[in-house]
């Protein structure tokens, strides 16, 4: 079957009986860590987002309702109760606007409200990565400068990888020379995929990376998703000590390629079905995918996990 | 012609992709079979103000909307044999013409390419961007190549329908959007209805205002299997032919073709010679017994981004590669690396497409009961809203 065309899913039922604000924000402080859903980033495959009821139907009070399960939008007032402190993803406007009173806490992102004691923050539905010192990151070189590379690590800004923060060939510890600066592209060039560690953070959130370990270096022999999975999760990654700057792939068996495709399919299916992508989920998803392939009509060599198969996989993982 | 957007991939990834796609059978990144398309979600009739509309989404969030709007327009009259001088009591002669038409069975309808206006909008790209202009040219070329489509817009000798096709890609293009836009336009044209004509002959057109009675632009009866054209993106890696390539797969393509095909009603129309101005248009083999009569409308080569990718460096000549500091054998190795293919090292394809590969690509598309047939069947199964 070369093509499957599905009708769009009916939009989800609208939840009208949302708890009022009093129930949420005047609740006792003991249940501080209210469940915030924690659904993570969700992409609706056919774009049928459950819409909030039109604003005419909403309560006309300035105190907006914001249930624990509901989503707040940028500029929407969360509360004007002065007992709350504002956290990440919120701000307090100086003047009253159409949707919020002066001094009220207003959401600056689209996401779910999270409460920690008296701190109100909004967890964005889709956020970029925020680097922390010591994080292992996979990035792609997007720019080569005179003495450093600029690396896309999925953050709001490009991370910097200085020439002085890599292991130079011909001896692990030596000073960088002008020759190294001239042949900077022989180490990493535009488009190269590498694994590195965050060494330092700038005040504005920009990161400085380093690859001064034999664990770090250029990634090869696969595709990004599978490589990242393999490197971080099953420790299949070979030692990169001698191959740090190589761009030549080793001989890869067909079976390995097939499993790499399967692993990539698992990660894509998780993302498309709005599930969390972490080590546990990927390992479970992979085992589930292998079992699904065993019983499928196409045989165990079939690694396709798109469309309905991806939904099956997600359903099996969430136990619904 | 114009290539798709540049994808930044490392030489190691490109080498891996190329190796896995060259296997027999190829292993695609998402596990699809070579002829398999990405799953689609489709619906029609989403825009109430249009004559026909459709929406198609991919699972990755790429989404396209097409609206078809029709207007009655006066046909520009050129002095010639069929010039109508309405003031000179044309009604009487009209009747004679109508009879004549039915008597000798000659189709007097005429079409003109200017009766169809197509706009393509892709977020992040200017309207006059070469990529957008090329996409729009390819899609309208498929529609107008055989001149049959414009004939459907003929009302009488003085008036015709002017069709506006607005193609909008809602999401940023995550992959080369040609197949998505083409399938969506196909669906929109399938669902397009034009008001039923009540007037006769060459008088000013007068229409039935009952929308339920409006006939489809492409009527669905058993007798006619004529369908709007579809343009498919097909690529070749090594000897493998791959349909509906993703962005990453297109990056390692040796050849990429946009092939426009349509299914025609009867073999008799196929026997007519069709020549188009710009590109090769050829009638496909027909076999009235089974399946559809697929007709090739146009072929365009897409410049794959693979030609712009940086080559990988073989370990033997890599100065930064751990042990390869020895300067001795480098000269031979360097010449070898320049001229020969080293396993596991990416090298951008050089030279043009091989004629045999191009032939095989077109053959595969036009295969009776093959991919195009199933795609057309699947599109027909979409409920018209």
pLDDT digits (tens, 9 = 90+) for B208-243: 888 888 888 888 766 666 888 999 999 998 888 999
B59–A contact, CB cutoff 8 A: yes
Q: Is the dihedral of CA A69, A75, A76, A77 positive or negative?
A: positive
B381–A contact, CB cutoff 8 A: yes
Between CA A261 and CA A266, with CA A263 as vertex, the angle to 5 degrees is 110
- Are the C-beta atoms of B169 and B63 separated by less than 8 Å? yes
B267 within domain boundaries: yes
B336 within domain boundaries: no
Between CA B59 and CA B30 the distance in angstroms is 12
pLDDT of B103 reads 42
User: Which range is least confidently modeled, A52-61, A93-102, B173-182, B186-195?
Assistant: A52-61
Between CA B195 and CA B214 the distance in angstroms is 5
B290 within domain boundaries: yes
Report chain B's mean pLDDT, rounded to a whole number: 78
Beta strands in A127-243 (DSSP E): 136-144, 148-152, 159-162, 193-201, 207-210, 217-218
B274 within domain boundaries: yes
B375–A contact, CB cutoff 8 A: yes
pLDDT band at B68 (very low <50, low <70, confident <90, very high): very high
User: Taking Cα atoms as reference points, which of A303, A122, A69 lies closest to residue B23?
Assistant: A303
**Closest residue in A to B170 (Cα–Cα):** A47
- Please state the domain count of chain B: 1
Cβ of B313 within 8 Å of Cβ of A248? The answer is yes
User: How many CB pairs below 8 Å do chains A and B form together?
Assistant: 194
pLDDT of B56 reads 93
B222 within domain boundaries: yes
Between CA A182 and CA B371 the distance in angstroms is 52
B272 within domain boundaries: yes
pLDDT band at B162 (very low <50, low <70, confident <90, very high): very high
Which of B14, B37, B39, B333 has the most A C-beta neighbours within 10 Å, making it the best mutation to test the interface with A?
B39
B24–A contact, CB cutoff 8 A: no
Q: What CATH number is associated with residue B295? A: 3.30.230.70
pLDDT of B223 reads 62
Tell me the chain B residues in contact with residue A266 when contact means C-beta distances shorter than 8 Å: none
**Tokens of residue A88, six digits:** 């990440």
- Percent composition of chain A: helix, strand, coil (DSSP 3-state, to 5): 25, 20, 55
B321 within domain boundaries: no
Cβ of A183 within 8 Å of Cβ of B27? The answer is no
Q: How many helices (H) and strands (E) does chain A have?
A: 7, 14
Between CA A314 and CA A319 the distance in angstroms is 8
Residue with tokens 């008597």: B103
B13–A contact, CB cutoff 8 A: yes
- pLDDT above 60: residue B182: yes
Cβ of A261 within 8 Å of Cβ of B30? The answer is yes
Across chain A, which has 320 residues, the per-10-residue mean pLDDT values are 78 54 44 35 38 37 46 87 88 80 86 88 82 86 91 88 82 73 84 87 88 77 50 34 54 77 81 77 85 77 77 81
Tell me the chain A residues in contact with residue B40 when contact means C-beta distances shorter than 8 Å: 3-6
Q: Is the dihedral of CA A25, A28, A32, A36 positive or negative?
A: negative
- Are the C-beta atoms of A211 and A165 separated by less than 8 Å? yes
pLDDT of B277 reads 35
B326 within domain boundaries: no
pLDDT, tens only, A88-146: 889 888 887 777 777 889 999 888 888 888 899 888 877 778 888 888 888 888 999 98
Tell me the chain A residues in contact with residue B325 when contact means C-beta distances shorter than 8 Å: 169-170
What average pLDDT does range B323-343 have in this prediction? 62
pLDDT of B345 reads 80
pLDDT of A232 reads 37
Cβ of A249 within 8 Å of Cβ of B371? The answer is no
Q: Which domain holds residue B294?
A: 2-311+346-380
pLDDT of B274 reads 39
pLDDT of B70 reads 93
ipTM attached to this prediction: 0.70
pLDDT of A247 reads 61
- pLDDT above 80: residue B160: yes
């Amino acid at each position: 079957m070369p093509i499957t065309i599905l009708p769009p899913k009916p939009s989800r039922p609208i939840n009208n009986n949302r708890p009022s604000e009093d129930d949420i924000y005047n609740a006792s402080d003991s249940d501080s860590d209210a469940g915030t859903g924690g659904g993570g980033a969700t992409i609706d495959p056919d774009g049928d987002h459950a819409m909030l009821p039109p604003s005419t139907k909403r309560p006309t009070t300035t105190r907006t309702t914001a249930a624990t399960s509901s989503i707040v939008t940028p500029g929407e007032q969360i509360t004007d109760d002065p007992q709350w402190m504002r956290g990440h993803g919120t701000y307090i406007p100086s003047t009253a606007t159409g949707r919020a009173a002066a001094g009220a806490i207003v959401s600056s992102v689209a996401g779910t409200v999270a409460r920690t004691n008296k701190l109100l923050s909004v967890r964005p539905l889709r956020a970029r990565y925020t680097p922390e010192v010591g994080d292992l990151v996979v990035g792609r070189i997007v720019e080569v400068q005179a003495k450093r590379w600029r690396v896309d690590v999925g953050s709001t800004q490009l991370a910097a990888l200085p020439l002085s923060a890599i292991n130079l060939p011909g001896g692990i510890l030596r000073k960088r020379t002008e020759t190294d600066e001239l042949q900077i592209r022989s180490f990493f060039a535009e488009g190269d995929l590498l694994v590195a560690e965050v060494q330092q953070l700038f005040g504005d959130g920009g990161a400085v990376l380093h690859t001064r370990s034999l664990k770090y270096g250029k990634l090869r022999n696969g595709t990004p998703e599978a490589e990242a999975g393999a490197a971080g999760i099953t420790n299949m990654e070979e030692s990169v000590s001698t191959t740090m700057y190589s761009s030549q792939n080793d001989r890869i068996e067909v079976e390995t390629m097939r499993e790499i495709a399967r692993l990539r399919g698992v990660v894509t299916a998780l993302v498309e079905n709005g599930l969390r992508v972490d080590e546990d989920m990927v390992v479970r998803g992979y085992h589930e995918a292998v079992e699904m392939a065993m019983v499928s009509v196409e045989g165990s060599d079939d690694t396709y996990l798109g469309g309905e198969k991806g939904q099956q996989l997600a359903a099996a993982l969430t136990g619904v | 012609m114009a290539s798709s957007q540049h994808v930044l991939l490392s030489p190691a990834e490109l080498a891996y992709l190329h190796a896995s796609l060259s296997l027999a059978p190829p292993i695609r990144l998402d596990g699809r079979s070579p002829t398999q398309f990405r799953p689609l979600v489709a619906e029609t009739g989403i825009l109430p103000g249009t004559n026909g509309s459709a929406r198609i989404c991919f699972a990755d969030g790429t989404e396209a909307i097409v609206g078809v709007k029709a207007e009655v327009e006066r046909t520009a009259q050129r002095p010639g044999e069929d010039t109508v001088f309405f003031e000179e009591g044309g009604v009487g002669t009209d009747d004679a013409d109508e009879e004549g038409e039915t008597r000798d069975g000659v189709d007097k309808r005429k079409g003109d390419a200017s009766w169809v206006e197509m706009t393509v909008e892709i977020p992040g790209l200017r309207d006059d961007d070469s990529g957008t202009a090329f996409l729009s040219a390819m899609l309208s070329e498929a529609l107008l190549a055989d001149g049959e489509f414009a004939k459907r817009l003929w009302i009488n000798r003085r008036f015709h329908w002017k069709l506006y096709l607005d193609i909008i890609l809602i999401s940023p293009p995550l992959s080369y959007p040609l197949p998505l836009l083409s399938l969506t336009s196909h669906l929109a044209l399938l669902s397009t209805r034009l008001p039923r004509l009540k007037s006769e002959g060459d008088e000013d057109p007068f229409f039935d205002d009952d929308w339920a009675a409006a006939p489809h632009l492409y009527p669905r009866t058993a007798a006619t299997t004529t369908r709007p054209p579809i343009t498919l993106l097909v690529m070749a890696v090594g000897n493998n032919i791959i349909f509906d390539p993703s962005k990453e797969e297109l990056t390692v393509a040796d050849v990429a073709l946009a092939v426009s095909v349509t299914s025609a009603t009867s073999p008799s129309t196929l026997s007519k010679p069709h020549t188009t101005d710009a590109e090769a248009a050829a009638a496909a083999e027909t076999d009235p017994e089974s399946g559809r009569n697929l007709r090739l409308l146009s072929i365009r080569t897409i410049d794959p981004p693979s030609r712009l990718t940086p080559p990988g460096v073989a370990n033997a000549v890599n100065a930064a590669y751990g042990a390869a500091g020895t300067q001795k054998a480098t000269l031979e190795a360097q010449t070898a690396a320049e001229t020969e293919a080293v396993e596991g090292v990416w090298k951008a394809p050089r030279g043009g497409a091989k004629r045999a590969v191009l032939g095989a690509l077109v053959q595969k598309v036009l295969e009776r009961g093959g991919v195009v047939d199933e795609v057309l069947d699947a599109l027909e199964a979409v409920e018209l809203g």
